[in-house]
Amino acid sequence: MAASSIAVVDAGAGNLHSVVRALRFAAPEADIRVCQTAAQIAEAERVVLPGQGAFGDCMRQLERAGLVPVVEQAARSKPLLGVCVGLQMLFERSEEAPGVQGLGLLAGDVARFRGPSFDAASQPAGEALKVPHMGWNRVRQPAPHPLWHGIADHSYFYFVHSYYVRPAEPAQWAGQTLYGLDFTCAVAADNIFATQFHPEKSANAGLQLYRNFVHWQP
């Protein structure tokens, strides 16, 4: 694959068309391919790991496709962007799928929204915050990062999820959102950047994040 080539990992875990379409719009000069084999992913200069649905299903599909080793290698050697469940899979485990191991590339786990903040009796208007968390929310940038270039702090991004990551290392918090609690919605570690929100559904801010990823040199 040519320079600026991007592999969008396809392990059968959901519809990738919106991710690919947004990447091609944001970076028409890049060679963007949906990849189903380890060889294709290994050849790419950059890797996007999307995920849709349940943590356990996504991990099992990645394993069945034989893509775990090449994704792990990519996360150590080239720019990798995780999206939604693609973020969650980078961690060690999830409450959604007890007994299923994540990739373990980042220390920490994945928890479900729960507690007093999501109890109808605790809300002033008597209304519980809904799970899944679905819709537009502001994202706070705790620290500068190349993938935030040109994106204002507290910009809105689009979310659809019932679970959120809990990184063990606060230094890896790259974005935070308030929804009942202040949760981590983006992480950064070396050549990894990953988001719980969907850049491909987040209008101009999401497209800018994809542009930044294409040109990122960690």
The catalytic site residues sit at 84, 198, 200
Separation of CA 117 from chain center: 24
HSE of 22, CA atoms in CB hemisphere, 13 A: 24
Neighbours of 199 (CB within 10 A): 27
Separation of CA 43 from chain center: 22
Max CA distance (Å), the chain: 57
* CA pair distance 32, 158, nearest whole angstrom: 23
Closest CA to 75 of 112, 110, 102, 96: 102
